[in-house]
Amino acid sequence: MASLTVLDPGFFTTVQDNGRFGSRKFGVPVGGSMDSFARRSANWLVGNDSEAPVLEMTIRGGTYKFHDEAFIGLAGGEVDITMNGRKQKQYETLAVSSGEEVQIGRVKTGCRVYMAIAGNWELDKIMGSFSTCVQAGFGGLEGRKVSKGDCISWAYSHNITKKTIPENLLPYFGHSYQIRIIEGPEWDWLNKDEQEAFLNLDFKVQPESNRMGIRLKSSTSLALKKENMVSSPVLPGMIQLPPGGDPIILMNDAQSVGGYPRVAKVVDADLWRLGQVWPPAKIRFKLITRKEALKLSAFQENILYSGKDDIKKNEEF
């Protein structure tokens, strides 16, 4: 059994995997990593299953002392990484020696970075997931964010082959994002002019944004033909439009039922991009068809874990 101790937990670090499914009917959020591509990338680098748990670090990574040899992978927002003062790279397999400290700095672009560790983590699954649900207090490390002094243990389960993710698959995180959407159940509550405005406005990401939702604001508040509706099911990626006219994109830790009109839904293939947006980033929406959305999702699922040990070329990513 190998282990590490948290010397500095960073700003907001939690254990996350691919999420908790099948429990939304009980009001339990899906949870899971905000940037699924980064989680999958980090796990791929160390030979783990794509759904294996990782540390999700927001804004600032922290410092971790390894008591045993380990292999780690780091992916997501751009950060400086050092091992006992030696600079290291993201998106490649890193070997850590016993006694070494891995320091992960402040995120420069994007807002979240993910660390995978080769092997099976010694954590309990709750409702089929290792993910931390902070608002309900379960999952991960006792349902809370990682704290100084915490210990994480794991057991090796496979041989490690050093890997590097090629440049053509590395994401770019800037200050402006085009996010693809499909029509929501209440899309027609916007008249034609408002629909056109929704697709042409630049929405600024607000500081109140978090794992529950990304709050947006633009130069023009949108108006609905109707305002009141019966509370209805929602899911991550749904875009709600409150009476004030400023959209909210529901994210991983969002509720399962909402009372605001659901004007659009971010396509699954673009949800991971939203896991890296942070003020003062801007978002513009692009409407596509459901058929296009399904094709994008199927393609993205096979980018890294294609049933082979190589990486598929990607010209649509």
CB neighbour class for 23 (10 Å; exposed up to 12, middle 13-18, buried from 19): middle
Q: With contact defined as beta carbons under 8 Å apart, do 214 and 111 qualify?
A: no
Which token pair is 214? 């990304």
Which token pair is 238? 């749904």
Superfamily of domain covering 176-301:
Cyclophilin-like (2.40.100.10)
Q: Which part of the chain is CATH 2.40.100.10?
A: 176-301
d(C-alpha 282, C-alpha 239), whole Å: 15
Coil, strand, or helix at residue 183?
A: strand
Residues of the chain with pLDDT under 50: 307-317
Task: Give residue 222's identity as a one-letter amino acid code.
Answer: L
Cis peptide leading into residue 280 (ω within 30°): yes
Tell me, rounded to whole angstroms, the distance of Cα 145 from its chain centroid.
16
Coil, strand, or helix at residue 217?
A: strand
Task: State the pLDDT at residue 315.
Answer: 33
Q: With contact defined as beta carbons under 8 Å apart, do 246 and 287 qualify?
A: no
* Phi–psi pair at 4, nearest 5 degrees: -140, 160
32-52 per-position pLDDT tens digit:
999 999 999 999 999 999 999
218-277 per-position pLDDT tens digit:
999 898 887 678 899 999 999 999 999 999 999 999 999 999 999 999 999 999 999 999
d(C-alpha 253, C-alpha 213), whole Å: 8
**Per-residue CA distances from 297 to 31, 38, 211, 230, 300 (Å):** 19, 16, 22, 30, 5
Global confidence as pTM: 0.92
| Residues in CB range of 300: below 8 A, 6 or more apart | 37, 269, 317
Q: With contact defined as beta carbons under 8 Å apart, do 116 and 76 qualify?
A: no
A 10 A CB-CB count for 280 gives 9
Nearest to 174 by CA among 60, 282, 37: 282
Dihedral Cα 261, 262, 264, 270, nearest 10 deg: 140
| Residues in CB range of 294: below 8 A, 6 or more apart | none
Task: Give residue 221's identity as a one-letter amino acid code.
Answer: S
Task: State the pLDDT at residue 64.
Answer: 98
| Location of structure tokens 């989680």 | 39
Nearest to 152 by CA among 297, 7, 311: 7
Does residue 198 come out as left (phi exceeding 0), alpha (psi in the -120 to 50 range) or beta?
alpha
Task: State the pLDDT at residue 280.
Answer: 92
Task: Give the torsion sign (CA, 56, 60, 65, 66).
Answer: positive
